[in-house]
Chains A and B, each alone.
Chain A
Amino acid sequence: MGRRRRRRRVDPADATRALPEAIAALSQTLPAGPSPETFRRAKFDRPEAAPALWRLLFRVLSPQLADGASASFSPEAQVRSVKLALRTQGYPRRALAQLPDDGSQGGRELLLALAWLLARGPLPERLLTQNRVQLGDEMPVCECEALASPGPPAPSVEADGCVDIRHLQWLMGKLRFRWRNLMASQQEQCALLGKIHSYTRGCHSDRSLGHLSVTETELLRDPEGGRQLLRRLERENARLQAALEWRRRELVFWRWMDTVLGACPPEASQPTFLPRIPTPGTGALEPLVRELQALQGELREAVEARRVAWEAGVGGRGPEWSAARTALREAVGQDLAALRQACERGGSCSLAQPHGPHRLVRTEAGAPGGPGLRAPEVIEALRSQEARLEVVLRQLQGQCRQELARLVGAPPGPVWILPPGR
């Protein structure tokens, strides 16, 4: 436990304590963090430091595994998994890939790898967020989690072979059915939540919440489960506290890492041939290219039609015409700028817009309530999103209809009678 001390003057005793304290905080906030002594040994590439660091990197790089699950991976499997994960993320040093698979060596290189991961992003915070204890009944207000899913794995070679189109129709029907079930289950869950929230109103010590959540009610029903939840919560609190400590002290760690890097011999700059790792993302490149080309084509067509209509409407090329055109240019420029901004990685999107899971809180209708999103606003936003997406879907379907009509050709071909109810 570190003592907080305001350093007006540089006290050498403080300086020597600062590093171990920083590393201790780091170690406590990460899952399976080794002791500061292990870190020190790793700097000098001592072999005894390696296994602990392999384990740490494995936990850090596969956070989706539950606490006990990593034990089911053999040390070799863990080493290979770490190597693959780091390569996938673009780890720049070759030395890591050349470490033996039995996990007996490589303390210093692993230390560098850990520092590299820490430098690239808020790793402790991200790990804590992914595995956090949910105390409330949460609902995401956006779909970014679902949209970020990687998509189907590259279809394997031994797959079905040729398939009848009726199988596709059947799969589509099955999908529709599943969505309907999902909707029904969701409605039931909301009704139950509503009941639980209103039956426990006034019970929560936190006035802004007012009522209990399912998790909280459950812990009262099941005391043993409640004790486990409390332990998880306390563990998370300790890790959160350690993360805050780490953020306060990390500068001394980075200075130290410079020395670690300096202690490494420089790598020879000959390109080594490494086996290709299957990149999961490349399967999505082809459809993306097609999509972009299709968009470009549609835009051109639409623009052409618009331009013709506009020029006909304006009539003549007087000063009105150039004024109107300038105004149009400006509007388009603004639109494009907004589009660019919206596309920027983690740009205005995640700040300006409600994002992520929110805890549901039931209030009395008409009560002003405290801070937080209001359901009617979210409903409104979702409705307009729904409307826009429906427009896109109809347009795509319309394109298909046109294309098919074209392919079928003019009469004397068969007559198509569209299904009723359009």
Chain B
Amino acid sequence: MDTTVTLLAGSSRRLVAELRDALDSCAERQRQLERSLRVSRRLLRAWEPAETLAPEPTPGPETNEEAPSAACIPSPQDLKELELLTQALEKAVRVRKGISNAGEGNKAPSLKSGSIATSPATRASAPPSTSHRAGSRASETKPPRGIRQTRVPTKDLPEHRLLSVGDQACMGQGAGATKPKSGLRNEQIVLSAASQAPEAFTLKDKGILLQLPEAFRKAASRNSRLWAQLSSTQTSDSVDAATTAKTQFLQKMQTTSGWPGSRLSATEVEAEVRHLQKACLLLRLRMGEELTAVVEQQLGPWPEGRFPRASLPCGGGADPIWSPQLLLYSSTQELQTLAALRLRVAMLHQQIHLEKVLMAELLPLVSKQEPLGPPWLALCRAVHSLLCEGGQRFLTILREDKPAD
């Protein structure tokens, strides 16, 4: 038995409008998430090499700086240097393979000093005394450092201007955390660069090598510095003088106007309404705590008379000035928990709001209709489901039929 239950036009409009609004705000969140997901997924796939080989517009001033440009397009000069470096490294690998285990500890300082041209010479003078297995281990761990410390004799270029043709990544300074395996791959990249074999870049394998361009880094640090300055200038002496001047100006504006003063503008009414809605929610939360002793036990008693931070919806009225603040997390699961809880809280806010709206429209409906007829029962069942079970479950109504005589 499923009779249709029609609502009044006025109620219908309001309820449908509220539900549609809730659906729209969900859809908006989903859209933003989808946008972010697209970008993130693309970043985790193999990166396409850049289409254009246009020369990098930011030249010269960075000669002594280490930053490669964002485009990381190798110029012919860079390729030549790469060639030289590749040769030097090949030589170094050959030399290192023959080096003893005992001499391993001393390699680092000798590698650090001087150019590659001299180090093979010093190495060659030291007699190799141990087996090759030590050498292969050395070759595994040494290359990253080697790449870092090597000086190309022709020019005073720091090594992180290495550019690999195949990938867009620019080698950086992440070497502290570089695993030996990826270090070996670095070398392979450099060696293969000479042969111009394109190798797709994936974040997973080579993300550590990335480095932000210098221009960007400067702009970004200036940016966060300026924001911090801006949010701290809210309190100072000159500010007080200006505040007084502003208040006086506003008063004069009001007195010289043709309209009678102290009318609440629409914006102010809205703000006041939001204010009161927030107050209602706070009161409800507080009442809820008082009336539910269970909550008290689970979460511990409040400090006397103080509303704990957790229950407060924020001020929100006056947009505070944004200042750079961090949120530190330590695992993906932690991040997921945090995000899920945030959504859950948002959903609960929405559910509470909808519950109030539904109560206001549906309960009067039930009391007005003629009781005990089948349409009324259907209405009651539907209303009960919406109001008491979030629309998810339905109750069963048993009706005792009168005996048929």
Contacts and interface: CB of A to CB of B under 8 A. Distances in A.
A122 interface: yes
A361 B399 CA distance: 61
B16 A167 contact: yes
Interface string B1-33: 000111111001111111111110111011001
A407 B367 contact: yes
Given A167-B16, A171-B16, A400 B363 contact: yes
Most buried by A among B7, B21, B246, B269: B246
A92 B261 contact: yes
B330 A152 contact: no
A223 B71 contact: yes
A339 interface: yes
A371 B323 CA distance: 13
11 contacts: A115-B249, A125-B230, A164-B5, A171-B16, A199-B207, A199-B208, A361-B329, A372-B326, A386-B345, A391-B289, A397-B388
A145 interface: yes
A356 B400 CA distance: 58
Nearest to A204: B212
A417 B396 contact: yes
Contacts of B316: 144-145, 147-148, 350
Interface in B193-244: 203-204, 207-213, 215-217, 219-223, 226-227, 229-230, 233-234, 238-239, 241-242
Interface in B325-340: 325-332, 334-340
A242 to B, nearest CB: 10
A362 B356 CA distance: 40
Nearest to B258: A267
B256 A240 contact: no
A288 B279 CA distance: 11
A221 to B, nearest CB: 5
B278 interface: yes
A187 B340 contact: yes
A212 interface: yes
Interface string B274-287: 11111111111111
A254 B249 contact: yes
A395 B382 contact: no
B210 to A, nearest CB: 5
B398 interface: yes
Contacts of A407: 363, 366-367, 371, 380
Interface in A330-382: 331, 333-335, 337-339, 342-343, 345-347, 349-350, 352-367, 369-376, 378-382
A122 B321 CA distance: 9
Contact of A346 (B44, B267, B277, B318): B318
A139 B280 contact: no
Contacts of B109: none
B126 interface: no
Interface string B174-205: 10110000000000000000000000000110
A288 B276 contact: yes
A202 B209 CA distance: 9
A272 B259 CA distance: 8
Contacts of A333: 305
Contacts of A255: 245
A323 to B, nearest CB: 16
B230 A379 contact: no
A267 B177 CA distance: 72
Chain B binding surface, main DSSP class: helix
B19 A172 contact: yes
B394 A144 contact: no
Interface stretch (A1-9, A48-56, A292-300): A292-300
Interface stretch (B34-42, B90-98, B130-138, B145-153): B34-42
A12 interface: no
B352 interface: yes
Given A171-B19, A203-B212, A88 B265 contact: yes
Contacts of B384: 400-401, 404, 416
A350 B298 CA distance: 27
Contacts of B311: 384-385, 388
A254 B249 CA distance: 8
B121 interface: no
A135 B222 CA distance: 13
Contacts of B290: 302
A392 B312 contact: no
B210 A404 contact: no
A223 B50 contact: yes
A233 B220 contact: yes
B325 A416 contact: no
Interface in A148-178: 148-153, 155, 159-169, 171-176, 178
Contact of B12 (A160, A188, A193, A395): A160
A195 B335 CA distance: 12
A417 B282 contact: no
Contacts of A143: 313-314, 342, 345-346, 349
A324 interface: no
Interface stretch (A39-47, A126-134, A311-319): A126-134
Given A226-B70, A372-B327, A417-B396, A281 B270 contact: yes
Contacts of B326: 208-209, 358-361, 370-373
A68 B341 CA distance: 37
Nearest to B281: A392
Given A144-B314, A217-B210, A373-B327, A343 B279 contact: yes
B404 interface: no
Interface stretch (A30-38, A73-81, A99-107, A244-252): A244-252
A417 B250 contact: no
Contact of B216 (A187, A230, A352, A414): A230
Interface in A389-422: 389-393, 395-397, 399-401, 403-404, 407-409, 412-419, 421
B321 A385 contact: no
Contact of A233 (B219, B319, B394): B219
A128 B226 CA distance: 12
Contact of A258 (B70, B249, B308, B377): B249
B336 A400 contact: no
A364 B281 CA distance: 38
A342 B389 contact: no
A192 interface: yes
A218 interface: yes
Given A335-B305, A362-B330, A397-B387, A375 B338 contact: yes
Contacts of A279: 266, 269-270
A89 B343 CA distance: 32
B262 to A, nearest CB: 10
A214 interface: yes
